[in-house]
Chain A
Amino acid sequence: MTFAGWTLPELLPLLAIGGAAITGLYLLRMRRREVEVPFAALWEQVSRESESRRLWRRLRRVLSWLLQVAILGLLCLALGDPQPSASLRPTQTLAIVLDRSASMAAVADPQTQTTRLDAAIAVARSELARMGAIDRALVIAAGEEVDVLTPLTADAALAIEAVERTEATYGEADLRRAIALARHALGDREGARILVLSDGALSPTAQSALQTCRGGPLPCELRKVGGPTDNAAITAFAARRPPHQLDRVEVLAEVRNFGDTPTTVELEIEADGVSVGRRRLELGPGQARREILSDLDAARAQLVARIEPVAEAGPGTGIALDDTAYAVIAPLRPLEVTLVTDGTNLFLEAALLAQGEHLRLAAVSIDDARREPQRAELQDADLVIFDPGAQPLPTDIPATHRVFFDPWRHPAGPCPIPKRADVSRPYLTEQLREHPILENVVLKDVNIARGTTLSSAPGDTALVRSLGEPIVVLREGQHIDIAFGFDPRQSDLALRTAFPLLVDNVLRFVEQRTPGFVASAPLGQSQELSLADLGLDPTGVTRVEVVPPSAPATDPAPGTPVERGRIRLRALVPGVYRIVATDGPNAGASVEVAVNQADPYASDLHARVEGDEARPEAPVVETEARAPWFRGPLWTVVAILVAVVLALEWATYHRRITV
C-alpha cells in the first residue's frame, strides 16, 4: 500500500495536530448550564438512583472521542489516497482530442457499417480503460465548436460514457482551438500527452495546428482512423430570379466527386418538398461539375438541393451530411448603370430608359467624369457606358463593366482595347450571330460615317468585323469591356430597331455576369452579412434576431447587433436561417439566408496528414458502468461530509446549542 496523495511525512503532523486538538477539546472542562430547581432534594434522590449509569456515560464520552479521532484518521487517509503498490506507476495525464467533423461520419468498415467516429470512440474507450487510479484524462470534442466532454478526471467510466455520446457534426474540426485547449488544460502535469483521434481529412489550418502540436513540448500523437474515401457532395448551391423572368428561378449547383472512382448521382432541386428540377450527373474521380438549372418554376424563395446515388452505378454519395444544400432567392437588385455622355445621344438614353425598374440609370457628364473620377455613380455602378461623342474620354475609368462607343476618335484614350486603324465609311461585314450580345440583331447595311477598327488580343471576341477587321470587340476578364469602334450618332444604327435590341442584349449579358446569385453563408465561420444584400432595409435597425432552422417558433434567440447595416452570423447547422429586425421602422420584417456546409475539406475523406493507424484489433477493456466509489473523489467528499456533520453534532450538543 502506497500513498498516492499526501505523503506520510505530510500526513503524520496533520494527524498529530488534529488528534491533539480533538483530545484537548474533550479534556476541556465543560461549563454546565445552571438550572434552578425548587426541589433539589428530590432531584438528588433521583440522580442518585441513576448513578449506576455513570459508567456508561463515561464510556460514551470515550467512544465519542474515539469516533472523532477515527474520523480524523479517515480524513488523513483520504488525503493520502492509498493505492495498492502494484497499481502504482508514473502518473499519466491524457488529453484526448476527438475529431467529430463531418468526415468522421463516413463509413469506416462497410461490412459492419461502423463509422470513422465509432472507430475513434473505440480507440478512446480503449485508452481510457487503461487508465490507472492515479491517471487523469480530459476529453475534448473538436467540431466547428470545441466542447469539453469531461474535464480532467480519474473516473474512466464517466469519460467513456461521455465519449460514447459523441456524434459527428457538420463542418470541419477546429483542431487549432481544441489542441490549444488541451495544452492549456494539461499544463505542466506529470506524464501529460495529447492524443488526437481523427481520420486525417483535415483543413490546412487543422494540419498546421497538428504540426505545431507535434513540435511542441508535450507529446502529441495522431491516431488515424480510416476507411473508404468515396464521397460526393454539393459544394455550391445558389438560386436567383432572372431579371427578365421574375416568375422563374435559376439555380446554380456544384457537385463534386471527392472519391477515387467515378460515380453517378442524381441532383434534385426541391421547393417546399416538391421536386422542381432534376439532373443526373456523372462524375469522374475528383471531378466537380457546376450545373445551372434555368427556367425552374418555383414560387417560394427557399430551395433545397439533394444528391442521391444512382443505385446501379458508382459507390454512392459517401457521408450524408454534405448531400443536402439550401438556397434562398434574394430579392432582385436593380442593375446600376451609369452613362457618361455629352448628352446628345437621345437614342441611347431612350434605349436605356426603356429597360424598366430592373435598371437604375445615372448620367454623368464628360467633364464631371474627368474632374471627379471617384464619384460614387462611377465607382459603385455595375456598368458604365462611355458615349463621349466628340469629346475625349476621361483619363480615369472605373474598374467595373464598361461599354465604350467610339473610344478612339481622339488619339489618346484609356480604352483597354487598342485601336488598329481609322476607317472611313466602314462596312459591317461579319457578325457573330450566335453571340448573346448580337441575338436578334442584324447589323447588315448599317451606314457609318467614320470609325476605327480595333486590335483584339487573345481571348477577346470580335463581335463585329469590318472587312475582317474587328470593329466591335468583347473582352472578358475580371470585368467585361465592350468597345464599339464607331459612334452611333455618326450612323443610322440609332434609327434602326436593332439598336435598342443591341443595348438590351448588352445589359442582359452584363446582368448575367453580375453576381446575382446570393451565395449561401458558410457553416462554422463567422460571416459578415449585409442586411441590404439580403433584402432587409437596415435603416434604424440596431438589433436583429437570428432564428435557426431547428429552433421552435417560441424559442427566444438573443439579439444580434447590427453595425453599419451588417451582422455577423456564425451558424453551426445548415439550413435556412431567418433574420428578424427587432427594432427600427422595419421592426418585425424578416429575411432569410441559407447556410451550407460547402466545405471541400469537410467532404474530402482523404487523409492529408501522417499518423499512426488506429489498430481496430486493440483490445477494448470493458469497464464498469460506474467507477468504484473508492476510485473517484466521492469517498473523500463523503468523508469530509461526515466530518462536518460530526463536528456540527459535537459543537451543538456539547456546547448545549441543541439541548
Chain B
Amino acid sequence: MTETETRFDEAFLKRLELLAVVARRLFRGRQRAERKTRKVGSGLEFADHREYSPGDDIRYLDWTVWVRLRHALIRLFEEDEDLPIRIVVDVSDSMLTRGRTKLRYAQQVAAALAYVGLANLDRVGMTCMSGRLHTTLPAVRGKGRIFRVFEFLRTANVGGPTDIRQGCSRVAAQSAQPGLTVVLSDFYDLQGAFEGLNLLRFRRHEPIAIQVLDPVESDPSRSGLRGDVRLVDCEGGQGRDVTLSPATLRAYHEAHERFCQKLEQSCRSRGIAYVRANTDVEFDELVLRLFRMGGILR
C-alpha cells in the first residue's frame, strides 16, 4: 500500500473530499451524521405527527394543532445519520496474476472510496474476501481513520481460491447493520459471481459491483502468447493442453466479453450498480470521473 499512499497526495484527497458515496436506499445509521435516514428523531427537517403518549417530550408537542383542534400531536423530525459502507476487496489468487496488478488497482480504488466515505462522516468497514477466511476492518469513522484503512490493506493476507458467493455470504453475516457494500473483484467465478451479489441484496445490502479487469487477461492475444501450451489455473487444479491459435485467442476474448456482459446485465436487472474497471485506466480517473458517471459517487 505504500504505492497507494503515495498516490493519495494532498490534491487528490482534496478532490475526494468533494465527493460522496451515493446510496440509493436509506440506511439506518448509528450516529448522527449528514445522511437522511428513516429514523425520526432530533433532526431539523419536519417529518410527521404522531399521537402524544405520556412521557413524550412536550417540547415537540405541536401547539398549533392543540390550539386549533385540541388534539395532542407530537411533531416528528427526520434524523441525519451516517451511512454504513462496507468495502469488500477480492484477494483471491486470480487477483494476484501478472504481478498483482488487479489487486493493487482494487486496493487503490478501495482506499479512495473509503476516504470518500470517511470524509462524509460515514462509517467505513473493509473486508478481504476469498474462499479462505480473512481479517475484517471494523467500521471506522472520520478522515483520520484513513491510515487504519491503509494499514489494513497493507497487512491483509492475500491468496486463496475465488468464491464470491461464500465471501459475500460471510460479509452479510458479519454485518449487523445492512448498508452500502462495494465489492471489488474480477468476479472470475462462473457460478457464484452474481449469486454472491444477489445474496447481499437479499440481506438488504445495497451492493455495488466493481469488476477489476486486466486488459491483457481479457484479451490474451495482446500478450503474444502462441503455440502449444499447458494452461494452469492460478488457483490450482490440473492443467489443460491447449493450442493457442489466433482463433482460440479470439474465442476466449469473445467468451470473456460475454461473461462480463452477462454479469453486468444480471446486476442491472437487480438494480445492482456495476462498473467495469480496466487496470489500464488510471485509478484516479476511474474514481473522479467514471464512478461519478456510474452514479456511485456524486
Contacts and interface: CB of A to CB of B under 8 A. Distances in A.
B231 A40 contact: yes
B97 A42 contact: no
A47 B232 contact: no
Contacts of B239: 34
A659 B241 CA distance: 15
B242 interface: yes
B240 interface: yes
Contacts, number: 87
Given A39-B94, A57-B243, A46 B248 contact: yes
B255 A41 contact: no
A47 B242 CA distance: 7
B234 A35 contact: no
Most buried by A among B190, B232, B240, B252: B252
B233 interface: yes
Prevailing SS type, chain B contact patch = mixed
Most buried by A among B227, B239, B255: B227
A612 interface: no
Given A32-B241, A46-B255, A40 B186 contact: no
Interface string B210-231: 0000100100000001111111
B251 interface: yes
A45 B253 CA distance: 12
B259 A47 contact: no
- Interface band, chain B: 20 to 34
B54 interface: no
A36 B232 contact: yes
- Interface band, chain A: 20 to 34
B223 to A, nearest CB: 9
A37 interface: yes
B237 interface: yes
A434 interface: no
A189 to B, nearest CB: 51
A42 B230 contact: no
A80 B232 CA distance: 50
B225 A30 contact: no
B52 interface: no
Interface in A36-65: 36-47, 49-50, 57
Contacts of B186: 38-39
Contacts of B259: 42
Contacts of A39: 94, 186, 188, 217, 256
A38 B234 CA distance: 5
Contacts of A42: 188, 190, 252, 255-256, 259
Contacts of B255: 42, 45-46
Contact of B229 (A34, A40, A44): A34
Given A36-B232, A42-B252, A50-B248, A659 B227 contact: yes
B134 to A, nearest CB: 19
Contacts of A37: 97, 217, 231-234
B69 interface: no
A33 interface: yes
B44 interface: no
Contacts of B233: 36-38, 40-41
9 contacts: A35-B232, A36-B232, A37-B97, A37-B234, A39-B186, A39-B188, A41-B188, A50-B251, A659-B227
The 5 closest A-B pairs by CB, nearest first: A659-B227, A40-B233, A38-B94, A659-B226, A32-B230
Interface of B: 93-95, 97, 186, 188, 190, 214, 217, 225-235, 237, 239-244, 247-248, 251-252, 255-256, 259
Given A34-B239, A35-B232, 9 more contacts: A32-B228, A33-B230, A37-B232, A41-B188, A41-B190, A42-B188, A47-B242, A50-B251, A659-B226
